[in-house]
Amino acid sequence: MSNKKVLVGTTKGLVIIGKVAKKWQVIATHFLGLPVSVIYINELNNTWWAGISHHHWGQKLHYSTDEGSTWTSAAVPAYPVDAQIANGKAATFKKIWVLQHGGPQFPNRIWMGTEPGGLFVSEDDGQHFKIVDSLWNHPSRMNQQQWFGTGRSQPFIHSIVVHPEDNAHLYIAVSCAGIFESFDSGQSWQPRNQGLIAAYLPNPNVEVGHDPHRLLVCETQPEVLWQQNHCGIFRSTDGAKTWTDVSDPSGMPNYGFALAVNRTNPEQAWVIPAVSDELRVAPNQALVVCRTDDGGQTWHLLRSGLPQRNCFDIVFRHAFANSDELFVFGTTTGNLFLSENSGEHWQNVSHHLARVDCVAIQES
């Protein structure tokens, strides 16, 4: 485990954490002062990707094939000239939210989820991207009642799941629209939101209009998917055909952004709750990680090593990662917590980072 590294994307740079002399600590910083909003490690070719969402200069994208020693700029794709967002305004590239390789069956493919509401694909390792027309032109998006922004001005695609056995089989999560599935490498898409609840809409059971915050799959049993949703935690055991609310009836865990799953145990997942959107602080101002071992029937509260008083931290959707027993999350107030035993005990690695937007774990 000690050879693993943690990449932490903050609003003031990319911070690399490593274990030196038995202590996890900052070992490098890249892009100092710049907002690193996306970090992705393509484990197929060990390439690091860093998306920088400049306030002034627009979205930029960089990659490194030598674990950060050198970085190369990559072109950010453009929306088609005639592309429009729902209100008839021209669609212009706002932000990269997620990158995902296409799986071993398509080793040069990279998917990119963006704001506003775009899915792009590259077939040449990220040198060129093009928009996925079938999703952009999906009837549910063209109807402005069904895709919309809530926390952001426009909808965005933040989660992309490639089926581990059939890499042409995809799931994406759109906030707000919901889950969509494709069996043909993105040539056609179907909404998969049955069982979800959109409590903020006049009709909470709409087909499209849901707000998944994070979507993940159990790699060895890919019919099991989990999502932390605006309206609770949901689990599917039938490949997203139906979803079941597995939130704790007592109210926590329920709302939040961050989610981690066990790659081989379909019963086990972790979430980091927040007080709902009115406040967006840690519940009772005490940080807690919640774990289920039984598919969401019961939840265990993990607090060891986490601050339990006067705590304002919450954890964003891409700021929680796990690899084997190594878990790490960064918070909105610049804290970074790490666990070497699957969350049973946490240690603080830094109190002094900027807001953490994303983390990723580099395998040894």
Partner 1 sequence: MATIKFTAALKRFFPDLTEIEVMGTTVAEVLQATEAKYPGITDYLLDERGAVRQHMNIFVKGELITDRTTLQDKLGESDEVVIFQALSGG
| Part of the chain binding partner 1 (CB under 8 A), chosen from 13-21, 53-61, 267-275, 348-356 | 53-61
Instruction: Give buried/exposed letters for 38-49 (b at 16+ CB in 10 A, else e).
Output: bbbbbebeebbb
- The DSSP result for 109-156, as a single string, is -EEEEEETTEEEEESSTTS--EE-HHHHT-HHHHSTTTS--SSSSS-E
| Part of the chain binding partner 1 (CB under 8 A), chosen from 56-64, 157-165, 169-177, 340-348 | 56-64
CA distances from 337 to 25, 346, 358 (A): 11, 6, 13
Cα angle value 182/188/189 (rounded, 5°): 55
**Which of residues 23 and 56 has its CB atom nearest to partner 1 in the complex?**
56
**Which of residues 92 and 143 has its CB atom nearest to partner 1 in the complex?**
92
| Binders of partner 1 in range 89-128 (CB under 8 A) | 90, 92-93
Tokens of 200: 């903020």
| Part of the chain binding partner 1 (CB under 8 A), chosen from 78-86, 131-139, 197-205, 259-267 | 78-86
| Part of the chain binding partner 1 (CB under 8 A), chosen from 48-56, 131-139, 190-198, 214-222 | 48-56
| Residue 21 CB partners (closer than 8 Å, separation 6+) | none
| Part of the chain binding partner 1 (CB under 8 A), chosen from 49-57, 127-135, 142-150, 217-225 | 49-57
Q: Does 79 bind partner 1 (CB under 8 A)?
A: yes
**Which of residues 153 and 348 has its CB atom nearest to partner 1 in the complex?**
153
Q: Does 73 bind partner 1 (CB under 8 A)?
A: yes
Whether the link from the prior residue into 116 is cis, omega within 30° of 0, is yes
Which residue in the block uniquely carries the two structure tokens 């979507």? 215
**Which of residues 64 and 242 has its CB atom nearest to partner 1 in the complex?**
64
**Which of residues 72 and 284 has its CB atom nearest to partner 1 in the complex?**
72
CA distances from 64 to 11, 28, 52, 152 (A): 19, 14, 14, 29
**Which of residues 21 and 81 has its CB atom nearest to partner 1 in the complex?**
81
| Part of the chain binding partner 1 (CB under 8 A), chosen from 14-22, 88-96, 231-239, 272-280 | 88-96
Q: Which of 22, 23, 56, 352 binds partner 1 (CB under 8 A)?
A: 56
**CB 89 to partner 1: min, Å:** 11
- Using DSSP bridges, classify how beta strands 36-42 and 47-54 pair: parallel, antiparallel or unpaired: antiparallel
Tokens of 292: 């289920």
**CB 52 to partner 1: min, Å:** 10
- Distance from chain centroid for Cα 124: 23
Which amino acid would we find at residue 271?
Answer: V
Q: Which of 1, 2, 58, 264 binds partner 1 (CB under 8 A)?
A: 58
How many of the other CB atoms lie within 10 Å of CB of 249? 6
Q: Which of 22, 23, 55, 352 binds partner 1 (CB under 8 A)?
A: 55
> Which residues of this protein are in contact with partner 1, per CB under 8 A?
54-58, 73, 76, 78-79, 81, 90, 92-93
